[in-house]
Amino acid sequence: MITALRILGVLVLLGIIASGLLFWTSSRDVQIPPASVDFASLSPSEHDRLVERGEWVAHAADCAACHTDPSGGSDLAGGLPMVTPMGAIYGTNITPSRTYGIGEWDADDLYRAVAMGIAPGGRNLYPAMPYPSYHRITREDSDALYLWLMQQPPVDKPNRRNDLIFPFNLRPAVTFWNALFRPDPEPFVARDPQNAQGEYLVDVLGHCGECHTPRNLAYALTDDHLAGNVIEGAYAPDLRADALVRRGWNRDDLSQFLHRGLSPQGVMTFRMFPVLSHSTSHLSFDDLDAISAYLMPQQPETELLARPPAGALSAEGHALYTGLCAGCHGEDGRGQPHSSVRLDVNTTAMFDNPINLVRVIAEGIPERDLAHGERMQAMPAFGDMLSDTEMAELVTYLRKRWGGQSAEVSAAQVADALKQAH
């Protein structure tokens, strides 16, 4: 008995020492790259050039995606909830308000927050702030972003407390997460010098992997970079080149999709719609083509054609399609310009996971001003009209007819998808 207690005591002691070491390793002051410019002696033209670059960084890094004020008025005043399995995290005020925003920060503070997830005073940010992606931001871009942020109108709006469950509400505990999963700040050096811009936009500023890369049990990104992931109740699809080719993408359509929010393969939906409005629609075609070329190193030569059905189509599914969908999307699934998307080459029916297809049909999509004059009318919600069995019939039909997916979707899968969504 005493021996067992002694062993237990030693184990507890070792655990405490290990935790302490982990905490110390992670919280020690990491050397950061020095400021890229002397802010005090900037010429007006240099200042203006940096502010312009900073605006580009803010768009490319999509700061507004999380920091926008959902009640309107400011893209940076915070308050938007991000729903995670651990609870809701609210975007913070990053306007230069001295009371509630980052008005007291200097450029080093911003770099530490963006690249390392550490706010002034050593306070941990939660990794909802995508510092595991931003850790490769260049100091030049962080400094340009700093100058641009400080030029924005300050909004004196207090931050909202996060609604996280225990123990995730213990902010200092993020230090352990950082020790295990946070890469050290490492200013960008292209892994593929052929397309440095595409890599920087996709992997660093655009932080595409934060949604499109699967996460482990600790909610950290895995090594399956851009392999697709269900996040916030929707499937962020596999963006690896072979998967994109399989779903009928080519570089031109991908660039158009990021520019206007629409292409024959689909329309920006769920959390990609704000990404369009805050970020990708503001990028030049040079940037968008770099993104497309990075994601699809080989331009596929195949023509975009509807694939043959992946199995026998049920009469019930066909009747549901004709009765509820064909009026807008057409009996042949060709859709109508600016009002209803094509379904015959739409990628949503091609995903292994049917959650997005089920949700779009059940919840509908509001009418949208997409970007650069492109718009789509509303899609009605059919959730109240269809039983889970009917929804399963319809979803199976769509996936078989145009999605190349032969597997039957069951009513239980439909119920599960709808449950995951809320």
Partner 1 sequence: MAERISFSATINGQKIGPMDLPQDLMMVELLQEYLNLTGTRLSCGQGVCSACTIIIDDPDKGSYTVPACVTGVTWVNGRTVRTIEGIAGRDDQGNPVPSPIQMAFLEHFAFQCSYCTPGFVNGATALIERLQRQPIPSDQVEAAVLEALDRHICRCTGYVRYYEAVRDVILSTPGLTTDGPGTDVTAMQEAGQ
Residues 301 to 340 in contact with partner 1, rule: CB under 8 A: 313, 315, 318-320, 322-324, 326-328, 331, 336, 339-340
| 266 φ/ψ angles, rounded to the nearest 5 degrees | 155, -170
Residues 336 to 375 in contact with partner 1, rule: CB under 8 A: 336, 339-340
Among 7, 46, 380, 407, which residue interacts with partner 1 (rule: CB under 8 A)? 380
CB of 196 or CB of 319, closer to partner 1: 319
DSSP structural state of residue 148: H
67 is in an annotated binding site: yes
Window of 102-110, 230-238, 380-388, 412-420 that interacts with partner 1 by CB under 8 A: 380-388
CB of 197 or CB of 339, closer to partner 1: 339
- Residue in the structure block whose two tokens are 């507004």: 64
CB of 108 or CB of 316, closer to partner 1: 316
Residues 6+ away with beta carbon under 8 Å from 311: 400, 406
Tell me how long the chain is. Answer: 422
Which two tokens mark 351? 């995903």
Say if residues 267 and 218 touch (Cβ distance below 8 Å): no
Q: Which helix (H) or strand (E) holds 196?
A: helix 196-199
CA distances from 49 to 281, 343, 393 (A): 21, 44, 57
- State the nearest-atom distance from the C-beta of 183 to partner 1, in Å: 48
- Say how far apart CA 90 and CA 158 lie, in whole Å: 11
CB of 352 or CB of 367, closer to partner 1: 367
CB of 339 or CB of 353, closer to partner 1: 339
The reply to whether 384 sits near partner 1 by the rule CB under 8 A is yes
Amino acid at 401: R
The reply to whether 377 sits near partner 1 by the rule CB under 8 A is yes
- Say how far apart CA 25 and CA 152 lie, in whole Å: 36
- State the nearest-atom distance from the C-beta of 124 to partner 1, in Å: 42
The reply to whether 153 sits near partner 1 by the rule CB under 8 A is no
208 is in an annotated binding site: yes
Among 385, 411, 415, 421, which residue interacts with partner 1 (rule: CB under 8 A)? 385
CB of 325 or CB of 349, closer to partner 1: 325
Among 12, 21, 180, 378, which residue interacts with partner 1 (rule: CB under 8 A)? 378
CB of 173 or CB of 315, closer to partner 1: 315
59 is in an annotated binding site: no
318 is in an annotated binding site: no
- Say how far apart CA 334 and CA 173 lie, in whole Å: 52
The reply to whether 381 sits near partner 1 by the rule CB under 8 A is no
- Say how far apart CA 337 and CA 324 lie, in whole Å: 19
| 131 φ/ψ angles, rounded to the nearest 5 degrees | -65, -25
Which two tokens mark 15? 């655990």
- State the nearest-atom distance from the C-beta of 368 to partner 1, in Å: 13
The reply to whether 389 sits near partner 1 by the rule CB under 8 A is no
Say if residues 331 and 313 touch (Cβ distance below 8 Å): no
- State the nearest-atom distance from the C-beta of 217 to partner 1, in Å: 41
422 is in an annotated binding site: no
For 8-72, give the DSSP string: HHHHHHHHHHHHHHHHHHHHS----PPPSS-GGG--HHHHHHHHHHHHHHHHHTTTHHHHS-TTS
225 is in an annotated binding site: no
CB of 194 or CB of 336, closer to partner 1: 336
CB of 241 or CB of 328, closer to partner 1: 328
Site size toward partner 1, by CB under 8 A: 20
- Say how far apart CA 237 and CA 227 lie, in whole Å: 7
- Residue in the structure block whose two tokens are 């308050």: 79
Q: Other C-beta atoms within 10 Å of 391: how many?
A: 26
- State the nearest-atom distance from the C-beta of 92 to partner 1, in Å: 32
- State the nearest-atom distance from the C-beta of 393 to partner 1, in Å: 12
CA distances from 31 to 35, 111, 227, 238 (A): 12, 12, 33, 35
Binding site for partner 1 (CB under 8 A): 313, 315, 318-320, 322-324, 326-328, 331, 336, 339-340, 377-378, 380, 384-385
Q: List binding-site positions.
A: 63, 66-67, 208, 211-212, 325, 328-329
Q: List binding-site positions for heme c.
A: 63, 66-67, 208, 211-212, 325, 328-329
